[in-house]
Amino acid sequence: MNTTITKSAGMGAVINDGTVTFRVWAPNAEKVFVGGSFNNWAKNDISLEIEDNGYWSVITDQASEGDEYKFFIEYKGELLSRNDPYAFEVTNSNGNSIVRTLDFEWDDTDFKMPSWNELVIYELHVGTFNRSSPDAVGTFEDVIAKLDYLKNLGINCIELLPVAEFAGGISWGYNPAHPFAIEQDYGGPDGFAKLVNEAHKRGIAVIMDVVYNHFGPSDVDLWQFDGWSENEKGGIYFYNDHKSETPWGDTRPDYGREEVRQYLRDNALMWIEKYHCDGLRMDATSYIRYEGGGLGYDTEIEEGNVLMRDINSEIREKYPHVLTIAEDLKGDSRVTDAVEHDGLAYGSQWDMNFVHPVREVIEDTHDDSRDLQKIVDALEFKYSNDAFSRIVYTESHDEVANGKARVPEEIQPGDAESDFAKKRALLGIVLTLTAPGIPMIFQGQEFIEDEYFQDTEGLDWEKKKKHEGIENLVRDIIKLRTGEIEGGKGLRSQHIEILHSNHETKILAYTRFDANDPTEPVLVILNFKNQEYENYGIGLNEDEPFELRVNAGSKIYDKDFSELPVDSVAVVEESTDAKNWTGKINIPAYGALIFTKS
């Protein structure tokens, strides 16, 4: 039985009542066929009928779940073999499409993503996060094996580098070949769905990294998909002029075509609807909205803005709990502004105004030249008048590669486990976890992983054993941040007040507080100098003592750290920092102290 259907039936291979509907967009094709394991790969046996606007479809009872298939497209006398752009699974990046549904058994119905002001994100790369052996590629099952560890660390959200099927088995994932399929070497669709389900059962949300600024550039059947192209470019899915050019290949999608925008919109919703993902992090969005990525004088791609605005608006309307994140890195509030303010309506964006100045200051080799004003500016910055419209971090997959290393390695190259390197790296972690914004750490950062990120090298879990105390420190701060440990509500608020910034002593102090509920302020004191201070004075607003919760420079976290005793803040009626009250405290060299109210 071969019959045509209407456009509303969906794209790709859709199973229904013992039949499979194949539907594809190929506006320049002269004929379209589908063949596969169900008909001995006959290339002209089952023909699709033309619909409106270049769509082709057929219903057949020959195919069923699990069958392999391809489309065969006739163009100017040539028969082109193409994978289904909407294939939910492929045998491998240059193999065949597989007929399948994405109907999984879920038991995560009670899961609710934490409020965005409670999130602590852990970015990880499936292929390297937890390898069963040095030569193996990490899988979704390997990540599942570490979910209890992440839960114990206090993490309530993981963000995965892209897992859409890519060329080969080793990659960062930013070379998607089949955007709707899941990388087979990681465990395919079933493995990914199981990971999301298991994460949710532990109270951990899942954010998926997606790549819409380019495809491939290798193993991409979308290239000249139906035979047509101009200027030897990519055909219907891509720009066929200078706008096709990106740093990752000549493969920028043509956002000006409604069908391409629909393709990317459908992909975004797949992660949410089919795989229960709680958020999307969109890669290099500046290359969706600017031809040159927004570097200097650049030409805007308005239809790219339309794409992102439409996707974000639909997600906000249908799934208001889903967080969309832009990796834009241009410091532009428009990215997170509301549509009515000509914004792109992302929920949050990675913040260059935090990571770059903070790393610059803590990696500076000279104490005297550390500029505390850069830290103050980084702490007080916000987009769209919302502290949680930014993701704050000192390490990410990009910031610890591409010529840069992990923070401890950058601080002291070749000796990342030195006292200086560890303490100053912890200054960055404490800043990240106590700053206004959504904090993010990168895999292994919690136990001072060093060197730089490579997709060929697994995370060194031996360092976890070696730096277990520092991991405990990070856990203590995370749980105070998320509310698992009480007393830290101020860390989940919009508000910050800089109490003290001394460029000679290099001491910085600030409070995080909720203006509507001032009962749980948090006082943070940071020492950016290799000098300890005793009975140091910091101006306070009132005569209420703060109690010590975390001393990041204490020997309880690392045997090489300070023995200087640190107690609760002693408050005296004395003017400091133009305030009537002064808190007296001992501060270790390169120390980081966190206090809460009793």
Q: Which one of 183, 198, 250, 283 is the catalytic residue? A: 283
Strands 279-282 vs 323-326: parallel, antiparallel or unpaired: parallel
Tokens of 448: 């001072």
- Residue closest to 54 by CA, chosen among 85, 25, 86, 22: 25
- Answer whether 401's CB lies under 8 Å from 454's CB: yes
Question: Is 419 tagged catalytic?
Answer: no
Nearest residue to 108 via CA among 203, 209, 208, 207:
203
- Residue 360 and residue 324 in contact, taking contact as beta carbons nearer than 8 Å: no
How far apart CA 34 and CA 73 sit, in angstroms, is 9
Sequence-ordered list of residues with C-beta below 8 angstroms from that of 80, at least 6 positions apart, any chain = 72, 73, 74, 226, 227
- Which residues on adjacent β-strands are paired with residue 383? 386
**Tokens representing residue 143 in the block:** 């990540």
The two three-digit tokens of residue 2, written as one number:
């071969």
Count of positions (residues) in the chain: 598
DSSP-assigned letter for residue 335 = G
Residue 317: how many other CB atoms lie within 10 Å: 8
165 belongs to the catalytic site:
no
Q: How far apart (Å, rounded) are the C-alpha atoms in residues 383 and 331?
A: 8
Count of H-run helices and E-run strands, the chain: 13, 28
Whole-angstrom distance, CA of residue 3 vs CA of residue 15? 14
* Six token digits for residue 62: 């020959």
Separation between Cα atoms, residue 311 and residue 370, nearest integer Å: 42
Rg of the chain on CA atoms, in Å: 26
Q: What does 225-237 look like in DSSP terms, one character per residue? A: TTS--STT---TT
Rounded CA separation 382/374 (Å): 14
Provide the residue type at 500 as one letter: H
Spot the catalytic one: 68, 209, 250, 327: 327
CA 226/CA 72 separation, integer angstroms: 9
Name every residue whose Cβ is closer than 8 Å to that of residue 581 and which is 6 or more positions away in sequence: 539, 540, 541, 542, 543, 571, 572, 573, 574
Residue pair 524/512 in contact by the 8 Å Cβ criterion? yes
Beta carbons of 328 and 288 less than 8 angstroms apart: no
442: closest CA among 329, 350, 549? 350
> Maximum Cα–Cα distance for the chain, whole Å?
91
Q: Give the residue numbers annotated as catalytic, written as ranges.
A: 283, 327
